[in-house]
Amino acid sequence: MYGEGERQVYSHKLAKLAGFSPGLVRRDLMVTGYSGSPNRGYDITELSAALDLVLNGNQEQLVTLIGVGDLGRALLKFFHGLWPDLTIRNAFDIDPEKVNRVVCGTRVHHMNELTEVIESEAIRIAILVVPDEVAQEVTDQLLQAGVKSLLNMTHARLRVPVDVYTEDLDVSIALEKVAFFGQEANKG
């Protein structure tokens, strides 16, 4: 909206875009500590800054990527420079052709360096894109190094302590779901 020249936005417009009621939008935005005005709505720049602070915190969060195969490289390319406060700081692999190189602005280290690098940079978030058969072993290494949040893009079901947040993201299941509902929509 800001890029289109708008400087103010009302809750009813945000609600329509999000598919919720204006009251729910206003209530949810109260969490940010920023409030609009009935006469002027929300200042888009100030609202964006308040949302950014809630969603990203006030400091940069560093992420590590484990596995620099085709999907890993695609993720590095996609995320490169996308969010200034959420940065893939480094990556790890065992392939000598990938180690000690920079891929999309990200240094690739050998897995033997994982604990040392993650501990020294205080990284707490990891993306796991490794073969299923080594996923738990790599996860254990990450946890030992201090990682507390994992995006698991393998098919392996990871065993982690209750204080570690894990999000399983299986693209094949998502595609199957889209195909199923697309097929159902075409029937009607």
What secondary structure does DSSP assign to 89-137, as a single string? EEEEES-TTTTTEEETTEEEEEGGGHHHHHHHHT--EEEE-S-HHHHHH
Query: Is 89 in contact with 62 (CB distance < 8 Å)?
Result: yes
Q: Grade residue 188 by pLDDT with cuts at 50, 70 and 90.
A: low
Most confident listed range (42-56, 75-89, 136-150, 161-175): 136-150
Mean pLDDT of the chain: 90
C-alpha 78/C-alpha 4 separation (Å) is 24
> For the chain, what are the domain ranges?
2-55, 61-173
Q: Grade residue 58 by pLDDT with cuts at 50, 70 and 90.
A: low
Q: Is the pLDDT of residue 121 over 80?
A: yes
pLDDT in tens, 159-181: 999 999 999 998 888 888 889 88
Residue 19 in tokens = 């598919």
- The CATH class for the domain spanning 61-173 reads alpha beta
Q: Grade residue 57 by pLDDT with cuts at 50, 70 and 90.
A: low
